[in-house]
């Protein structure tokens, strides 16, 4: 680790859009003294239908942008990007890098009573089989059923509320999960907790919804504590504060973010620069 890393430095969090705000909210709850720099790539969202190579490139570009700030840890708060680029990014930077797949898998195993776990996510996440591989590595006897729900990320990014039309979209997306007798359902995209009420209504109260956000924030706390990088106190007013960036239209992002986080924020639009693998600061 870079010897200049300080406990007063920020935590970088990235996502393909607004979904990673679910992780931000949990970091705010569990680690209230920490400062966050967030980037949501809403202009190129969703990542799910894109190739692995594209997702890796986009993730590198966001990391390159975030590493301009004084960071002490980085969270890839996007399941698709975690599956495609986590190990690559860990090779590129000299601060801890966390993904959201392994924390979500552990939480699902802990919650399941019958050993039957469902996973919903983007095409990219489901095609990677990242959750199934992680779940089976931890508990080989699990029954795991996975299903891609490509309509859900655009639904969340649109900012629509819990309307009848939204319910029908969720119901249609989850139809293959009905009758699978799963008792735990991994929300394998950080966008999905933003419509958890609709998902829960469709699946029924007998199914526990698993969001990786809580477990990811807990793991972040453990990592920072182990490396003695937990912030000792909130930053004084006028010093480093939370910052939110998006590649897309900032006003729509701000509305969704403020509704989810329950606090006013400022969102800036930022341009990302093309980078090559060796172009990320901190190698």
For residue 240, name the pLDDT band (cuts at 50, 70, 90): low
Is position 225 annotated in a ligand binding site?
no
Task: Kindly state the tokens that stand for 1.
Answer: 């680790």
Q: What is the pLDDT of residues 187-213, one digit of tens each?
A: 999 999 999 999 999 999 999 999 999
pLDDT for the residue 162: 86
Task: Flag whether pLDDT at 237 surpasses 60.
Answer: no
**In this structure, are residues 277 and 60 in contact, taking their beta carbons and an 8 Å threshold?**
yes
Residues above pLDDT 90, as percent of the chain: 88
> Catalytic pick from 13, 55, 71, 78?
78
**In this structure, are residues 119 and 174 in contact, taking their beta carbons and an 8 Å threshold?**
no
Neighbours of 282 (CB within 10 A): 15
**Average pLDDT over the chain, rounded to whole?**
92
Is position 114 annotated in a ligand binding site?
no
Q: Hey, what's the torsion of the CAs at 156, 252, 163, 28, to 10 degrees? A: 60
Q: What domains appear along the chain, each with residue ranges and CATH number?
A: 10-99+214-279 (3.40.50.1860), 101-211 (3.40.50.1860)
Task: Flag whether pLDDT at 156 surpasses 50.
Answer: yes
Task: Flag whether pLDDT at 110 surpasses 50.
Answer: yes
What distance in Å separates the CA atoms of residue 18 and residue 248, rounded to the nearest whole number? 11
pLDDT for the residue 2: 43
Is position 233 annotated in a ligand binding site?
no
Model-level pTM greater than 0.95?
Answer: no
Q: What is the pLDDT of residues 128-151, one digit of tens each?
A: 999 999 999 999 999 999 999 999
Does 149 qualify as catalytic in the annotation?
no
Across 232-252, average pLDDT: 80
Does 78 qualify as catalytic in the annotation?
yes
Is position 16 annotated in a ligand binding site?
yes
> Catalytic pick from 89, 189, 209, 229?
189
What distance in Å separates the CA atoms of residue 255 and residue 103, rounded to the nearest whole number? 28
Is position 94 annotated in a ligand binding site?
no
Across 56-84, average pLDDT: 97
């Amino acid at each position: 680790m870079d010897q200049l890393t300080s406990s007063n430095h920020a935590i970088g969090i990235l996502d393909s859009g607004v979904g990673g705000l679910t992780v931000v909210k949990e970091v705010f709850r569990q680690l209230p003294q920490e400062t966050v720099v967030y980037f949501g790539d809403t202009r190129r969202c969703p990542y799910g239908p894109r190739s692995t190579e594209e997702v890796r490139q986009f993730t590198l570009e966001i990391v390159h942008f975030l590493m301009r700030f004084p960071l002490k840890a980085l969270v890839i708060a996007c399941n698709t990007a975690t599956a495609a680029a986590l190990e690559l990014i860990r090779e590129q930077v000299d601060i801890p890098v966390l993904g959201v797949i392994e924390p979500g898998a552990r939480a699902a195993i802990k919650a399941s009573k019958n050993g039957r776990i469902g996973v919903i996510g983007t095409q990219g996440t489901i095609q990677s089989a990242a959750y199934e591989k992680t779940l089976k590595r931890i508990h080989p006897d699990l029954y795991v059923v996975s299903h891609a729900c490509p309509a859900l990320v655009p639904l969340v990014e649109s900012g629509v509320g819990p309307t009848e039309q939204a319910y029908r979209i969720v119901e249609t997306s989850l139809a293959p999960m009905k009758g699978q007798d799963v008792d735990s359902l991994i929300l394998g995209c950080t966008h999905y907790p933003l419509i958890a009420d609709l998902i829960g209504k469709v699946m029924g109260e007998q199914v526990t919804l698993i969001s990786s956000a809580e477990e990811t924030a807990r793991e972040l706390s453990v990592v920072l504590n182990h490396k003695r990088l937990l912030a000792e106190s909130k930053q004084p007013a006028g010093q480093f504060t939370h910052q939110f960036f998006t590649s897309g239209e900032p006003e729509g992002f701000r509305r969704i973010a403020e509704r989810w986080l329950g606090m006013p924020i400022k969102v800036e639009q930022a341009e990302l620069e093309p980078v090559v693998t060796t172009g990320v600061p901190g190698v």
